[in-house]
Structure 1
Protein backbone atom coordinates (compact mmCIF):
# COMPACT_ATOMS: atom_id res chain seq x y z
CA UNK A 1 0.00 0.00 0.00
CA UNK A 2 1.29 3.45 -0.90
CA UNK A 3 0.75 6.30 1.54
CA UNK A 4 1.78 9.15 -0.77
CA UNK A 5 -1.63 10.94 -0.66
CA UNK A 6 -1.46 11.05 3.15
CA UNK A 7 1.92 12.76 3.48
CA UNK A 8 0.74 16.31 2.69
CA UNK A 9 -2.02 15.94 5.29
CA UNK A 10 0.40 14.50 7.82
CA UNK A 11 2.83 17.33 7.19
CA UNK A 12 0.19 20.01 7.71
CA UNK A 13 -0.95 18.36 10.94
CA UNK A 14 2.47 17.76 12.50
CA UNK A 15 4.18 21.01 11.53
CA UNK A 16 2.36 23.25 14.06
CA UNK A 17 2.61 20.58 16.77
CA UNK A 18 6.39 20.28 16.52
CA UNK A 19 7.73 23.69 15.48
CA UNK A 20 11.25 22.83 16.67
CA UNK A 21 11.61 20.61 13.58
CA UNK A 22 12.49 21.98 10.17
CA UNK A 23 9.49 21.10 8.04
CA UNK A 24 9.76 23.94 5.54
CA UNK A 25 11.94 26.96 4.93
CA UNK A 26 10.65 30.49 4.47
CA UNK A 27 7.41 30.15 2.44
CA UNK A 28 8.01 33.59 0.91
CA UNK A 29 11.34 32.65 -0.65
CA UNK A 30 11.74 30.37 -3.69
CA UNK A 31 14.56 28.47 -2.02
CA UNK A 32 14.14 24.71 -1.66
CA UNK A 33 16.29 21.83 -0.44
CA UNK A 34 16.78 18.66 -2.45
CA UNK A 35 17.59 15.90 0.02
CA UNK A 36 18.66 12.27 -0.33
CA UNK A 37 18.36 9.64 2.41
CA UNK A 38 19.89 6.22 3.16
CA UNK A 39 23.24 6.52 1.35
CA UNK A 40 25.97 6.51 0.46
CA UNK A 41 25.65 3.75 -2.14
CA UNK A 42 28.55 2.56 -4.33
CA UNK A 43 26.58 2.86 -7.59
CA UNK A 44 23.52 5.05 -7.06
CA UNK A 45 25.33 7.90 -5.29
CA UNK A 46 28.11 8.39 -7.90
CA UNK A 47 25.48 8.35 -10.67
CA UNK A 48 23.53 10.99 -8.76
CA UNK A 49 26.65 13.11 -8.26
CA UNK A 50 27.17 13.24 -12.02
CA UNK A 51 23.69 14.70 -12.47
CA UNK A 52 24.18 17.26 -9.70
CA UNK A 53 27.53 18.23 -11.23
CA UNK A 54 25.91 18.73 -14.63
CA UNK A 55 23.46 21.26 -13.21
CA UNK A 56 25.94 22.71 -10.71
CA UNK A 57 23.45 22.06 -7.91
CA UNK A 58 24.26 21.50 -4.25
CA UNK A 59 22.08 18.94 -2.50
CA UNK A 60 21.72 17.52 1.02
CA UNK A 61 22.55 13.96 2.01
CA UNK A 62 21.26 12.28 5.17
CA UNK A 63 23.59 9.36 5.70
CA UNK A 64 23.47 6.05 7.50
CA UNK A 65 26.69 5.57 9.44
CA UNK A 66 26.99 1.91 8.49
CA UNK A 67 27.10 2.70 4.77
CA UNK A 68 29.53 5.55 5.32
CA UNK A 69 31.89 3.03 6.89
CA UNK A 70 31.37 0.60 4.00
CA UNK A 71 31.91 3.19 1.24
CA UNK A 72 34.07 5.99 2.65
CA UNK A 73 35.39 6.95 -0.78
CA UNK A 74 31.85 7.69 -1.96
CA UNK A 75 31.13 9.70 1.16
CA UNK A 76 34.28 11.74 0.67
CA UNK A 77 33.38 12.44 -2.97
CA UNK A 78 30.02 13.85 -1.86
CA UNK A 79 31.57 15.97 0.88
CA UNK A 80 34.37 17.28 -1.34
CA UNK A 81 31.79 18.62 -3.80
CA UNK A 82 30.32 20.85 -1.12
CA UNK A 83 27.02 19.09 -0.53
CA UNK A 84 25.42 19.44 2.91
CA UNK A 85 25.65 16.36 5.11
CA UNK A 86 23.16 15.27 7.76
CA UNK A 87 22.62 12.19 9.93
CA UNK A 88 19.98 9.51 9.38
CA UNK A 89 21.08 7.16 12.13
CA UNK A 90 23.61 4.35 11.99
CA UNK A 91 21.46 1.48 10.65
CA UNK A 92 18.02 3.06 10.10
CA UNK A 93 16.60 1.98 13.47
CA UNK A 94 13.52 3.93 14.49
CA UNK A 95 14.63 6.40 17.13
CA UNK A 96 11.70 5.81 19.53
CA UNK A 97 12.78 2.16 19.81
CA UNK A 98 16.20 3.14 21.16
CA UNK A 99 17.07 4.01 24.72
CA UNK A 100 18.55 7.49 25.24
CA UNK A 101 22.03 6.00 25.52
CA UNK A 102 21.53 3.91 22.38
CA UNK A 103 20.28 6.94 20.47
CA UNK A 104 23.22 9.04 21.63
CA UNK A 105 25.69 6.37 20.54
CA UNK A 106 23.84 5.82 17.27
CA UNK A 107 24.26 9.47 16.26
CA UNK A 108 27.76 9.81 17.70
CA UNK A 109 28.91 6.73 15.78
CA UNK A 110 27.42 8.11 12.56
CA UNK A 111 29.20 11.43 13.03
CA UNK A 112 32.46 9.56 13.73
CA UNK A 113 32.08 7.57 10.51
CA UNK A 114 31.62 10.79 8.53
CA UNK A 115 34.64 12.45 10.14
CA UNK A 116 36.85 9.46 9.35
CA UNK A 117 35.58 8.99 5.79
CA UNK A 118 36.02 12.67 4.96
CA UNK A 119 39.41 13.00 6.69
CA UNK A 120 38.12 15.61 9.11
CA UNK A 121 39.40 16.49 12.56
CA UNK A 122 37.23 15.49 15.56
CA UNK A 123 36.56 19.15 16.36
CA UNK A 124 34.47 19.29 13.16
CA UNK A 125 31.87 17.02 14.78
CA UNK A 126 29.60 19.98 15.51
CA UNK A 127 29.52 20.76 11.78
CA UNK A 128 27.05 17.88 11.33
CA UNK A 129 24.10 18.87 13.54
CA UNK A 130 21.17 17.99 11.29
CA UNK A 131 19.28 14.77 11.97
CA UNK A 132 16.41 13.26 10.00
CA UNK A 133 14.75 10.45 12.00
CA UNK A 134 14.44 7.19 10.04
CA UNK A 135 10.92 6.76 8.64
CA UNK A 136 10.13 10.22 10.02
CA UNK A 137 9.35 8.66 13.40
CA UNK A 138 9.98 10.53 16.62
CA UNK A 139 8.40 11.33 19.98
CA UNK A 140 8.47 14.51 22.08
CA UNK A 141 11.15 12.76 24.16
CA UNK A 142 13.20 12.15 21.00
CA UNK A 143 13.10 15.85 20.14
CA UNK A 144 13.98 16.82 23.70
CA UNK A 145 17.06 14.60 23.58
CA UNK A 146 18.13 15.89 20.17
CA UNK A 147 17.90 19.47 21.38
CA UNK A 148 19.74 18.59 24.58
CA UNK A 149 22.58 17.17 22.47
CA UNK A 150 22.56 20.22 20.15
CA UNK A 151 21.16 18.42 17.11
CA UNK A 152 18.64 19.99 14.73
CA UNK A 153 15.69 17.76 13.71
CA UNK A 154 14.93 17.93 9.99
CA UNK A 155 11.73 16.62 8.44
CA UNK A 156 10.18 17.16 5.00
CA UNK A 157 7.60 18.86 2.81
CA UNK A 158 7.56 16.76 -0.40
CA UNK A 159 7.64 12.95 -0.07
CA UNK A 160 7.02 11.26 -3.46
CA UNK A 161 7.53 7.78 -1.95
CA UNK A 162 10.25 6.83 -4.40
CA UNK A 163 11.42 3.93 -2.22
CA UNK A 164 8.46 1.79 -3.34
CA UNK A 165 9.49 2.31 -6.99
CA UNK A 166 6.25 3.77 -8.41
CA UNK A 167 8.15 4.74 -11.58
CA UNK A 168 10.27 7.72 -12.49
CA UNK A 169 7.49 9.62 -14.24
CA UNK A 170 5.20 9.30 -11.25
CA UNK A 171 7.87 10.42 -8.80
CA UNK A 172 8.67 13.42 -10.99
CA UNK A 173 4.98 14.30 -11.26
CA UNK A 174 4.51 14.08 -7.49
CA UNK A 175 7.47 16.37 -6.83
CA UNK A 176 6.46 19.01 -9.35
CA UNK A 177 2.81 18.98 -8.23
CA UNK A 178 3.60 19.48 -4.54
CA UNK A 179 6.77 21.60 -4.45
CA UNK A 180 6.38 25.12 -3.09
CA UNK A 181 8.67 27.86 -1.73
CA UNK A 182 10.68 26.54 1.20
CA UNK A 183 10.09 22.86 0.37
CA UNK A 184 12.27 20.00 1.55
CA UNK A 185 12.12 17.29 -1.12
CA UNK A 186 12.94 13.75 0.03
CA UNK A 187 14.45 11.24 -2.40
CA UNK A 188 16.64 8.21 -1.73
CA UNK A 189 20.03 7.12 -3.04
CA UNK A 190 20.27 3.95 -0.96
CA UNK A 191 19.17 0.36 -1.57
CA UNK A 192 15.48 1.27 -1.76
CA UNK A 193 14.65 3.89 -4.37
CA UNK A 194 18.23 4.53 -5.38
CA UNK A 195 18.04 2.56 -8.63
CA UNK A 196 16.25 5.43 -10.37
CA UNK A 197 17.39 8.41 -8.29
CA UNK A 198 19.82 9.74 -10.91
CA UNK A 199 17.22 9.56 -13.68
CA UNK A 200 14.57 11.14 -11.45
CA UNK A 201 16.88 13.97 -10.43
CA UNK A 202 17.91 14.54 -14.04
CA UNK A 203 14.26 15.13 -14.91
CA UNK A 204 13.17 17.27 -11.99
CA UNK A 205 16.16 19.64 -11.79
CA UNK A 206 15.53 21.49 -15.08
CA UNK A 207 11.84 21.76 -14.19
CA UNK A 208 12.58 23.25 -10.78
CA UNK A 209 15.18 25.64 -12.16
CA UNK A 210 12.83 26.74 -14.93
CA UNK A 211 10.24 27.60 -12.29
CA UNK A 212 12.76 29.88 -10.63
CA UNK A 213 13.60 27.75 -7.61
CA UNK A 214 17.00 28.07 -5.97
CA UNK A 215 18.44 24.78 -4.69
CA UNK A 216 19.97 25.43 -1.26
CA UNK A 217 21.34 23.69 1.81
CA UNK A 218 19.42 22.66 4.89
CA UNK A 219 21.48 25.23 6.75
CA UNK A 220 20.19 27.92 4.38
CA UNK A 221 16.58 26.93 5.11
CA UNK A 222 17.16 27.09 8.87
CA UNK A 223 18.54 30.61 8.51
CA UNK A 224 15.74 31.62 6.13
CA UNK A 225 13.28 31.23 8.99
CA UNK A 226 15.15 33.92 10.91
CA UNK A 227 14.60 36.55 8.21
Structure 2
Protein backbone atom coordinates (compact mmCIF):
# COMPACT_ATOMS: atom_id res chain seq x y z
CA UNK A 1 0.00 0.00 0.00
CA UNK A 2 1.29 3.45 -0.90
CA UNK A 3 0.97 6.05 1.83
CA UNK A 4 2.12 9.02 -0.25
CA UNK A 5 -1.41 10.53 -0.51
CA UNK A 6 -1.76 10.34 3.28
CA UNK A 7 1.42 12.15 4.29
CA UNK A 8 0.14 15.70 3.66
CA UNK A 9 -2.86 15.01 5.88
CA UNK A 10 -0.70 13.33 8.51
CA UNK A 11 1.64 16.31 8.59
CA UNK A 12 -1.21 18.76 9.13
CA UNK A 13 -2.52 16.67 12.03
CA UNK A 14 0.79 15.97 13.75
CA UNK A 15 2.58 19.30 13.36
CA UNK A 16 0.29 21.30 15.70
CA UNK A 17 0.18 18.38 18.15
CA UNK A 18 3.98 18.36 18.50
CA UNK A 19 5.07 21.98 18.05
CA UNK A 20 8.50 21.44 19.63
CA UNK A 21 9.56 19.49 16.53
CA UNK A 22 10.66 21.16 13.33
CA UNK A 23 8.10 20.32 10.66
CA UNK A 24 8.24 23.44 8.48
CA UNK A 25 8.20 27.21 8.74
CA UNK A 26 6.11 30.02 7.30
CA UNK A 27 8.56 32.52 5.78
CA UNK A 28 7.45 35.56 3.86
CA UNK A 29 9.78 34.59 1.01
CA UNK A 30 9.68 31.38 -1.10
CA UNK A 31 12.19 29.35 0.89
CA UNK A 32 12.39 25.57 1.07
CA UNK A 33 14.55 23.03 2.89
CA UNK A 34 15.81 19.94 1.06
CA UNK A 35 16.90 16.98 3.19
CA UNK A 36 18.20 13.46 2.58
CA UNK A 37 17.99 10.42 4.85
CA UNK A 38 19.75 7.04 5.20
CA UNK A 39 23.20 7.94 3.83
CA UNK A 40 25.98 8.20 3.19
CA UNK A 41 26.03 5.77 0.26
CA UNK A 42 29.19 5.05 -1.78
CA UNK A 43 27.47 5.50 -5.15
CA UNK A 44 24.34 7.58 -4.70
CA UNK A 45 25.67 10.24 -2.33
CA UNK A 46 28.63 11.29 -4.56
CA UNK A 47 26.25 11.55 -7.54
CA UNK A 48 23.94 13.71 -5.45
CA UNK A 49 26.81 15.91 -4.29
CA UNK A 50 27.78 16.65 -7.88
CA UNK A 51 24.22 17.70 -8.70
CA UNK A 52 24.02 19.94 -5.62
CA UNK A 53 27.39 21.49 -6.50
CA UNK A 54 26.24 22.13 -10.07
CA UNK A 55 23.03 23.75 -8.83
CA UNK A 56 24.71 25.75 -6.06
CA UNK A 57 22.34 24.30 -3.45
CA UNK A 58 23.13 23.54 0.17
CA UNK A 59 21.21 20.54 1.51
CA UNK A 60 20.75 18.63 4.76
CA UNK A 61 21.83 15.05 5.44
CA UNK A 62 20.46 12.86 8.23
CA UNK A 63 22.97 10.06 8.60
CA UNK A 64 23.05 6.52 9.88
CA UNK A 65 26.07 5.94 12.10
CA UNK A 66 26.72 2.52 10.57
CA UNK A 67 26.84 4.04 7.08
CA UNK A 68 29.21 6.79 8.21
CA UNK A 69 31.57 4.19 9.66
CA UNK A 70 31.35 2.16 6.45
CA UNK A 71 31.91 5.10 4.09
CA UNK A 72 33.87 7.75 5.99
CA UNK A 73 35.37 9.28 2.85
CA UNK A 74 31.90 10.00 1.47
CA UNK A 75 30.79 11.49 4.78
CA UNK A 76 33.90 13.67 4.89
CA UNK A 77 33.16 15.03 1.41
CA UNK A 78 29.58 15.93 2.34
CA UNK A 79 30.89 17.81 5.36
CA UNK A 80 33.67 19.47 3.36
CA UNK A 81 31.14 20.88 0.93
CA UNK A 82 29.29 22.64 3.71
CA UNK A 83 26.05 20.70 3.91
CA UNK A 84 24.10 20.54 7.18
CA UNK A 85 24.38 17.31 9.16
CA UNK A 86 21.84 15.55 11.34
CA UNK A 87 21.35 12.17 13.02
CA UNK A 88 19.09 9.33 11.87
CA UNK A 89 20.13 6.74 14.42
CA UNK A 90 22.91 4.22 14.16
CA UNK A 91 21.09 1.43 12.27
CA UNK A 92 17.64 2.77 11.23
CA UNK A 93 15.94 0.95 14.08
CA UNK A 94 12.64 2.56 15.10
CA UNK A 95 13.19 4.77 18.14
CA UNK A 96 10.03 3.70 20.02
CA UNK A 97 11.26 0.09 19.95
CA UNK A 98 14.45 1.00 21.80
CA UNK A 99 15.06 1.32 25.51
CA UNK A 100 16.19 4.83 26.51
CA UNK A 101 19.79 3.78 27.11
CA UNK A 102 19.92 2.03 23.73
CA UNK A 103 18.50 5.07 21.94
CA UNK A 104 20.96 7.38 23.62
CA UNK A 105 23.82 5.04 22.73
CA UNK A 106 22.64 4.91 19.10
CA UNK A 107 22.72 8.69 18.77
CA UNK A 108 26.04 8.98 20.58
CA UNK A 109 27.57 6.33 18.33
CA UNK A 110 26.42 8.26 15.27
CA UNK A 111 28.00 11.46 16.58
CA UNK A 112 31.23 9.59 17.29
CA UNK A 113 31.23 8.18 13.74
CA UNK A 114 30.77 11.67 12.32
CA UNK A 115 33.57 13.06 14.47
CA UNK A 116 35.93 10.35 13.24
CA UNK A 117 34.94 10.55 9.58
CA UNK A 118 34.95 14.35 9.37
CA UNK A 119 38.06 14.78 11.54
CA UNK A 120 36.30 17.00 14.07
CA UNK A 121 36.54 16.89 17.87
CA UNK A 122 33.74 14.88 19.44
CA UNK A 123 32.67 17.79 21.61
CA UNK A 124 32.31 19.95 18.48
CA UNK A 125 30.06 17.35 16.87
CA UNK A 126 28.03 16.99 20.06
CA UNK A 127 27.44 20.75 20.02
CA UNK A 128 26.83 21.26 16.30
CA UNK A 129 25.22 17.99 15.16
CA UNK A 130 22.15 17.58 17.35
CA UNK A 131 19.24 17.59 14.93
CA UNK A 132 17.57 14.17 14.96
CA UNK A 133 15.07 12.71 12.51
CA UNK A 134 13.52 9.45 13.73
CA UNK A 135 13.68 6.61 11.17
CA UNK A 136 10.41 6.27 9.26
CA UNK A 137 9.15 9.31 11.16
CA UNK A 138 8.15 7.06 14.06
CA UNK A 139 8.12 8.60 17.51
CA UNK A 140 6.09 8.82 20.69
CA UNK A 141 5.74 11.66 23.23
CA UNK A 142 8.25 9.73 25.35
CA UNK A 143 10.71 9.69 22.43
CA UNK A 144 10.48 13.47 22.13
CA UNK A 145 10.84 13.91 25.87
CA UNK A 146 14.04 11.89 25.84
CA UNK A 147 15.48 13.74 22.84
CA UNK A 148 14.82 17.11 24.46
CA UNK A 149 16.29 15.97 27.77
CA UNK A 150 19.49 14.99 25.94
CA UNK A 151 19.63 18.38 24.19
CA UNK A 152 18.73 17.06 20.75
CA UNK A 153 16.33 18.82 18.37
CA UNK A 154 13.65 16.63 16.72
CA UNK A 155 13.29 17.29 13.00
CA UNK A 156 10.37 15.88 11.01
CA UNK A 157 9.04 16.86 7.55
CA UNK A 158 6.17 18.40 5.63
CA UNK A 159 6.70 16.91 2.15
CA UNK A 160 7.25 13.14 1.89
CA UNK A 161 7.05 11.91 -1.75
CA UNK A 162 7.76 8.28 -0.81
CA UNK A 163 10.78 8.11 -3.08
CA UNK A 164 12.11 5.03 -1.27
CA UNK A 165 9.51 2.98 -3.15
CA UNK A 166 11.12 4.08 -6.44
CA UNK A 167 7.91 5.13 -8.23
CA UNK A 168 9.94 7.03 -10.82
CA UNK A 169 11.52 10.45 -10.94
CA UNK A 170 8.57 12.16 -12.56
CA UNK A 171 6.06 10.85 -10.04
CA UNK A 172 8.24 11.87 -7.10
CA UNK A 173 8.70 15.35 -8.54
CA UNK A 174 4.98 15.69 -9.25
CA UNK A 175 4.20 14.80 -5.64
CA UNK A 176 6.67 17.38 -4.36
CA UNK A 177 5.42 20.16 -6.60
CA UNK A 178 1.84 19.43 -5.60
CA UNK A 179 2.62 19.71 -1.89
CA UNK A 180 5.42 22.25 -1.63
CA UNK A 181 4.85 25.71 -0.22
CA UNK A 182 7.12 28.37 1.30
CA UNK A 183 8.82 26.89 4.35
CA UNK A 184 8.37 23.25 3.33
CA UNK A 185 10.79 20.62 4.61
CA UNK A 186 11.23 17.99 1.88
CA UNK A 187 12.49 14.46 2.59
CA UNK A 188 14.33 12.40 -0.03
CA UNK A 189 16.71 9.45 0.40
CA UNK A 190 20.29 8.85 -0.74
CA UNK A 191 20.57 5.38 0.82
CA UNK A 192 19.92 1.93 -0.59
CA UNK A 193 16.19 2.56 -0.94
CA UNK A 194 15.43 5.42 -3.31
CA UNK A 195 19.02 6.50 -3.75
CA UNK A 196 19.31 5.24 -7.32
CA UNK A 197 17.03 8.06 -8.48
CA UNK A 198 18.02 10.74 -5.99
CA UNK A 199 20.49 12.64 -8.18
CA UNK A 200 18.09 12.95 -11.11
CA UNK A 201 15.15 13.70 -8.81
CA UNK A 202 17.12 16.45 -7.10
CA UNK A 203 18.23 17.98 -10.39
CA UNK A 204 14.65 18.00 -11.69
CA UNK A 205 12.95 19.28 -8.56
CA UNK A 206 15.49 22.01 -7.83
CA UNK A 207 15.21 23.34 -11.38
CA UNK A 208 11.42 23.30 -11.14
CA UNK A 209 11.45 25.08 -7.79
CA UNK A 210 13.97 27.65 -8.98
CA UNK A 211 11.65 28.59 -11.84
CA UNK A 212 9.18 29.51 -9.08
CA UNK A 213 11.85 31.65 -7.36
CA UNK A 214 12.41 29.24 -4.46
CA UNK A 215 15.66 29.52 -2.54
CA UNK A 216 17.11 26.69 -0.46
CA UNK A 217 17.92 26.99 3.24
CA UNK A 218 19.42 24.61 5.77
CA UNK A 219 17.85 23.15 8.89
CA UNK A 220 19.39 25.80 11.14
CA UNK A 221 17.84 28.58 9.07
CA UNK A 222 14.48 26.81 9.17
CA UNK A 223 14.70 26.60 12.97
CA UNK A 224 15.39 30.35 13.07
CA UNK A 225 12.41 31.04 10.83
CA UNK A 226 10.20 28.86 13.00
CA UNK A 227 11.35 30.41 16.29
CA UNK A 228 11.12 33.92 14.84
CA UNK A 229 7.55 33.28 13.81
CA UNK A 230 6.64 31.90 17.22
CA UNK A 231 8.21 34.84 19.08
CA UNK A 232 6.83 37.45 16.70
TM-score > 0.5 by shorter chain: yes
| Contact 2:87–2:110 (CA under 8 A) maintained in structure 1 | yes
Q: Which residue of 2 is the match for residue 37 of structure 1?
A: 37
Q: Which residue of 2 is the match for residue 106 of structure 1?
A: 106
Distance 1:61 1:122 in 2: 18
C-alpha offsets along residues 19-74 of structure 1, whole Å, 9 cap, x if unaligned? Answer: 01101022433221100000000000000000000011000000000000000000
C-alpha offsets along residues 83-136 of structure 1, whole Å, 9 cap, x if unaligned? Answer: 000000000000000000000000000000001000001221210010000000
Alignment of 1:15-54 (within 5 A): 15-54=15-54
C-alpha offsets along residues 154-180 of structure 1, whole Å, 9 cap, x if unaligned? Answer: 000100000001111100111111110
Q: State the TM-score, normalizing by the size of structure 1.
A: 0.98
Do residues 181 (structure 1) and 182 (structure 2) align? yes
Q: Which residue of 2 is the match for residue 132 of structure 1?
A: 133
| Deviation for aligned residue 1:206 | 1.0
Distance 1:142 1:27 in 2: 28
Alignment of 1:58-77 (within 5 A): 58-77=58-77
Do residues 117 (structure 1) and 112 (structure 2) align? no
Distance 1:126 1:132 in 2: 17
Unaligned ranges ≥5, structure 1: none
Comparing 84-93 and 23-32, the one that deviates more: 23-32
Q: Which residue of 1 is the match for residue 212 of structure 2?
A: 211
Unaligned ranges ≥5, structure 2: none
| Contact 1:31–1:181 (CA under 8 A) maintained in structure 2 | yes
Comparing 54-63 and 120-129, the one that deviates more: 120-129
Comparing 65-74 and 23-32, the one that deviates more: 23-32
| Contact 1:86–1:129 (CA under 8 A) maintained in structure 2 | yes
Aligned residues: 227
